[in-house]
Amino acid sequence: MNLMSSQPTGDSRSVASDDYGNGAIGETIFSLAAEIFPICRSITGDGVRQTLNILRRHIDLDVHEVPSGTQVFDWTIPLEWNIRDAYIKAPSGERVVDFKTSSLHVLNYSQPVHVQMPLSQLKEHIYTLPQQPHAVPYRTAYGGDRWGFCMAHNQFAQLEDGIYEAVIDSSLTKGNLTYGEVFHRGATDHEVLLSTHICHPSLANDNCSGLALLTALVKCITRRKTRYSYRFLFGPGTLGAISWLARNSSSVRNIKHGLVLSCVGDGGGPTYKKSRIGDAFIDRAFIHVLKHASSNPNIIDFFPYGYDERQFCSPGFNLPVGLFQRSQFGTFPQYHCSDDNLDFIKPEHLATSFQMITSVLDVIEGDRYYARTNPFCEPQLGRRGLYSSVGGTKDVADRNMAMLWVLNLSDGEHSLLDIAERAGVPFSVIADLASELVVNDLLTERDIVTSA
């Protein structure tokens, strides 16, 4: 398949260039993450719709509804869950757990309940983290056949015996699963898929950071002319991706590169989990970028657990979709508990994550094949003003060597990414040098058809 267009159709700016100004992108992403942080989201319900409506103020987002009972491959869309209030009231009348303080206090997807019972019985419906006694855990009951509360273990240990009132004002009714989608048409039908999940309640890194960063990416990319078309998905984890794939199974062949992103607001990693293919272009591009962006990137082989990459990489589709995170899910103590709050994510980390992703998109957009106009021996660079010996600094020597790599490997069979990998030089440097050599009539672009 022709992944390398012979004529660049986008402008010469990088994907990251935009109207945010210097350093503003991190603050912009953080501000949106903070706005959506308090909302109680789940795999269905008004919390998802409320979040998508906030995102729609920033981007042109299409919202799709999949009715309860719909069969999507081996899954069935469940009843829609909504919650209005929940609390545990102590014998003194004090609310010792209050949903309105934090949506994490309720077992997500709890069935409605209004009971009075002794503490000994109520304890069977309370979840804590004894190993992190100050934190409130995030727990779910997606079957809708249970109810419960989550609270800090320290507070739990201080509860006095007596009769407690437990109220969960929720509903499980026929409704819909909701997801958002943006499609940006490029010069070709070949697509880049970018996806994040929208189903977690008040978790800053493992939900809000990905939603806010992907929104920023939409704003950047949809303002540009691009070679690839771009599809952005904001859907509930697992069922959202499965629903989209069930509805679009005939057109997924257009997806040539893909990425799931989550946990992009902390200072760990960076972490990249390869696609099931293992050496897809997206895998190579991400590994290349992270090796130059970090001294110790965490590169992980594919395994069939995690986020929605496992749906896109299921054997029937086997799409080239990887997963990008800062700290790997499940490995940091703030994961899936109240410590994953707005103090855990930082604008500077969000900005760095944004820059890493846009650098990969620059590789996807900018990769080309070139051939020497005169492939015999080295061209005389000095008389063209291309070879500098002034100062003899390392930067000058490195630039000269990178140019020699471009000239030597531009044989019509090596792409710019091939050259960057072989030379150990950032793709952006190789791409800039290639453009300079084209201007000086030393290279010409080749139209290469590849099955990659």
pLDDT digits 0-9 by tens, 368-382: 999 999 999 999 888
pLDDT at residue 448, as a whole number: 59
pLDDT surpasses 90 at 292? yes
Nearest alpha-carbon partner for 268 in 217, 344, 322: 344
Is 336 annotated in a binding site? The answer is: yes
Q: In which residue ranges of the chain is CATH 1.10.10.10 found?
A: 369-446
pLDDT at residue 393, as a whole number: 61
Nearest alpha-carbon partner for 51 in 234, 191, 221: 234
165-201 per-position pLDDT tens digit? 999 999 999 999 999 999 999 999 999 999 999 999 9
pLDDT at residue 319, as a whole number: 98
CATH number for the region 81-172 comes to 3.50.30.90
Nearest alpha-carbon partner for 230 in 184, 188, 189: 184
Residue 436, Cα to own-chain centre: how many angstroms? 34
Is 418 annotated in a binding site? The answer is: no
pLDDT surpasses 60 at 411? yes
Q: In which residue ranges of the chain is CATH 3.50.30.90 found?
A: 81-172
Q: In which residue ranges of the chain is CATH 3.40.630.10 found?
A: 24-77+176-363
Distance CA(315)–CA(313), nearest Å, equals 6
Q: Are 398 and 391 in contact (CB under 8 A)?
A: no
Query: pTM of the prediction?
Result: 0.93
pLDDT at residue 397, as a whole number: 87
Task: Provide the token pair at 352.
Answer: 């760095």
Is 362 annotated in a binding site? The answer is: no
**Domain 369-446 listed as CATH 1.10.10.10:** yes
Classify strands 271-273 and 126-127 as parallel, antiparallel or unpaired.
unpaired
Q: For the chain, how long is the longest CA-to-CA vector?
A: 91
Task: Provide the token pair at 44.
Answer: 């269905």
Q: Are 349 and 399 in contact (CB under 8 A)?
A: no
24-77+176-363 architecture in CATH? 3-Layer(aba) Sandwich (3.40)
pLDDT surpasses 60 at 254? yes
